[in-house]
Amino acid sequence: MAGGAREVLTLQLGHFAGFVGTHWWNQQDAALGRATDAKEPPGELCPDVLYRTGRTLHGQETYTPRLILMDLKGSLSSLKEEGGLYRDKQLDAAIAWCVHFLYLSSGLPPLTTSATPKPLIPTEGSIRVWSDFLRVHLHPRSICMIRITITMRRDASLGSVGSGFGQGESVLKEPKLHFYVEECDYLQILCDLHDGFSGVGAKAQRCYKMKFRARDITWGLLPGPYHRGGETRIPVGTLLNADSFGLVHLTAHSSLVCPLSLDGSLGLRPEPPVNFPYLHYDATLPFHCSAILATALDTFTAPYRLCSSPVSMVQLAGMLSFCGKKVVTAGATIPFPLAPGQSLPDSLLQLGGATPWTPLSACGDPSGTRCFAQSVVLRGIDRACHTSQLTPGTPPPSSLHACTTGEEVLAQYLQQQQPKVMSSSHLLLTPCRVVPPYPQLFSSHSPQAVESIPVFGALCSSSSLHRTLEALAGDLTKVDVRRWASFMDAGVEHDDVAELLQELRSLAQCYQDGD
């Protein structure tokens, strides 16, 4: 592998994580297809970081995601539990291990079977679960199922909003996810935070803490408004799971945790979903929300997937998480606005002094907050646009226009925006692929569908987390956990909540402005 061994194992835990992950793997697959085109220049991103080569018992070579996913019964739709690579029952039986699955009531509508194969590119109206639009072949051992012998009420199944963090923890009695582990150097977890899967993620972290010590990142995923079913208040179950037990326990065992959501806030009273000036999306559709978050994720993770001079996951986490700041916020401009004939200095100058990206961590408006450290990626800008092409003798309209490289332009822009912030920045030629089944969210006057877009994204250790975490602690003091039977059934007691409050407030203190 270029740049040394940097293999990453991805754990994908939960139903919304399945939506985000499916879009993300589809984007990797589209980029792989692009890279095999002889007309394309060598890629900047190394697919071996996320993929592994293999061979079936029949000698067929394979290249599949280094992935283990978990979800509820019903989420596979027409996808086989053993994947679709081998298409041989005897071979499947020989290769497939003794996997377990979440045989729980998922609340999904009943599935119907049909002899007619589903279309290669499904329509939005036909998509009910993430496997409906998955275009990537998975290894037989990627789909992990957990059988649960205990009986849960329908309203407290692991993937429901009312399910408890402790119930998720109890699912992983033993470390069952050893496949891939020995061949990997790093771990990234895509984990639902709003239900019991937050407990599954925390337990998985503890299982592999020694193996991946200081070499892991957790992306905590929160669905948009669609999961509230029209409620004007965020369910208390979500507050207890995501905003409290899940966030605190995941932070305790991970090198870095980043919540990702299109919601405006994490508290009991929701704010409107975030707005993207150049996107038309439906915040009530998980298919749309997950596509946007996957595009951001594909950009945030680029530094440790680079072919040349990569930033390791250890370096990225270390830069952002100093002084106990292990939770970071995310933001992105999707797509990055670069009008025809404009240069990068022109476009950055037009952004003005405001924060250039839309917040993606449900921490409210970042205006007036302080950034302690940030990792920034701008991708998809043609090299010819990196610098200003001024006529000789023309005075540059700004210091950005006087820069001689695109990297210098970006670094100077960030220095002007945040003068005292430790910043790591990357400027990539590679755009983000958005070919079908990615939804067409882009306002374009061109009759042709958009296939790739430039994206500007950042991970930031921000003082906004002090305000957000303190507000969560305040909301939690108003909750009587004894009224939530699913938490009591999982062994959560009043003292646990009191300890949680203390840990939440201690975490918030790390982000006080002026630290």
Q: What is the DSSP letter of 287?
A: H
Residue intervals of the chain classified under CATH 3.40.50.1440 are 8-86+132-330
Question: What mean pLDDT comes out for the span 382-389?
Answer: 94
Residues listed for the chain:
515
Question: Rounded distance, CA 431 to CA 335, Å?
Answer: 10
pLDDT more than 90, % of the chain: 45
Question: Rounded distance, CA 453 to CA 23, Å?
Answer: 15
Residue intervals of the chain classified under CATH 3.30.1330 are 344-462
Q: What is the pTM of this model?
A: 0.87
Phi then psi for residue 339, to 5 deg, are: -70, 155
At residue 390, the pLDDT reads 85
Query: Between 336 and 86, where is the model more confident?
Result: 336
The answer to whether residues 321 and 257 touch, using CB atoms and an 8 Å cutoff, is: no
At residue 231, the pLDDT reads 54
For residue range 325-359, what is the model confidence (pLDDT) as tens digits?
Answer: 999 999 999 999 999 999 999 999 998 877 889 99
The CA-atom distances, in angstroms, between 262 and each of 9, 58, 124, 436 are 26, 45, 20, 22
The answer to whether residues 172 and 210 touch, using CB atoms and an 8 Å cutoff, is: no
114: pLDDT strictly greater than 60: no
Sheet holding 422-428, edge to edge: 358-359, 329-333, 455-462, 371-379, 422-428
Letter for the amino acid at 190?
Answer: L
**Least-confidence region, from 252-256, 264-268, 397-401, 412-416:** 264-268
284: pLDDT strictly greater than 60: yes
Q: How far is CA 375 from the centre of its chain?
A: 15
For residue range 405-433, what is the model confidence (pLDDT) as tens digits?
Answer: 999 999 999 999 988 899 999 999 999 99
482: pLDDT strictly greater than 80: no
Question: What mean pLDDT comes out for the span 490-509?
Answer: 81
CA 250-311-402 angle, to 5 degrees, is 125
For residue range 135-149, what is the model confidence (pLDDT) as tens digits?
Answer: 999 988 888 765 543
At residue 168, the pLDDT reads 58
Which fold is adopted by the domain 8-86+132-330?
Rossmann fold (3.40.50)
DSSP for 348-361 reads: HHHTTTS--SEE-B
pLDDT level of residue 245 (50, 70, 90 thresholds):
confident
Question: Rounded distance, CA 166 to CA 35, Å?
Answer: 44
At residue 432, the pLDDT reads 97
pLDDT level of residue 208 (50, 70, 90 thresholds):
confident
Question: Rounded distance, CA 107 to CA 16, Å?
Answer: 14
For residue range 16-52, what is the model confidence (pLDDT) as tens digits?
Answer: 999 999 999 999 999 997 665 545 556 899 999 999 9
What top-level class would CATH report for the domain 344-462?
Answer: alpha beta
The answer to whether residues 118 and 73 touch, using CB atoms and an 8 Å cutoff, is: no
371: pLDDT strictly greater than 50: yes
Question: Rounded distance, CA 198 to CA 220, Å?
Answer: 8
Q: Is the peptide bond before 437 cis (omega within 30 degrees of 0)?
A: yes
How high is the mean pLDDT of the chain? 80
Question: Rounded distance, CA 249 to CA 252, Å?
Answer: 5
